[in-house]
Amino acid sequence: MALVMPSTAAMARQETPLDASLWAFLGQLNQLLGLLFVLRQSLKKVEQEIQTLLSSTPPQRFVLGLGSVLSVGDITAYPSKRLYRTYTATVWEAIDETYLTAIHTMMARHSAWTVAQAYEAFETFVNDIAEGFVHALPTTTRPVTRRRRRRQQTKKVLDRLRSEAPQIGEWEQANSRGLDLRQWYDVVGEVRHAITHSDEVIPARVLRGFSSERRTLLRQCFPGMEAGESYSLRLDVEDATRALRIFGDYAFVVFKALCIQQGYDWNILVTMLRTSS
């Protein structure tokens, strides 16, 4: 699913040094959303077929596909000759609810992966747009390089952009979503870390450092379950979709504020369909 670029009607607007960063980021978000949608639709069809067979009397076995049967090799049989025996494992059959649970788990995992990928794409966007804006910064400012892109580095870049374009900080708090984007970004950073490194669990030591506002944002935007003093994420497609949209909105806040600071025409989305989310 490709992002629709501006039509001829928008060609009167002069391109700015910041445009490419925003378009690239929105394209990545759109691709993530498209893949999420395709996977959900495909798995829904499989789920419906399995449910139909399980509800029959007697329940029928469901074979996903003979072409996907796993072959296991005995690599200890003839090591000197580099030969081995292969044995065919059983085909994937559905005779109970196990496979429906596996489908739900797969969709939840992909939803979480989508959020993590969007976070990393936003980091890239922030650093890229800062490079496009760097000519307006003091000459002593060191340009951001790709190899230095880390979570703390990106936060420092955002801090510098806020100092150069104060409207970023204003709109992070005063916006139509009624969402404190700065607090949200800190929360989603921990969510991404949990998804990538901690099996989708935010540990107690991290939660203890959360303010009450961040805890509320965590529960509202990234549902999960309390597991002792830790927090186990339970994200679904709707949660991931909402996160993608917020990332898109946040990117536009940064883009618009920087454009205004430089006197650029910020209305890059003029030809895109207006939707509410």
> Whole-prediction pTM value?
0.82
Of 52-61, 102-111, 168-177, the one with minimum mean pLDDT is 52-61
Burial class (CB in 10 A: 0-12, 13-18, 19+), 12: exposed
Does residue 3 have a pLDDT over 70?
no
3-state secondary structure of 76: strand
Does residue 2 have a pLDDT over 60?
no
Q: Please state the rounded mean pLDDT for residues 203-213.
A: 94
Which distant-in-sequence residues (6+ apart) come within 8 Å of 175 by Cβ? Answer: 181, 249, 253
User: How many Å apart are CA 210 and CA 228, to the nearest integer?
Assistant: 16
Half-sphere exposure of 216 (CA within 13 A, CB side): 6
Q: Where are the domains of the chain?
A: 14-50+95-262, 60-94
More confident residue, 61 or 221: 221
* Measured torsion, CA atoms of residues 154, 150, 185, 137, in degrees rounded to the nearest 10: 0
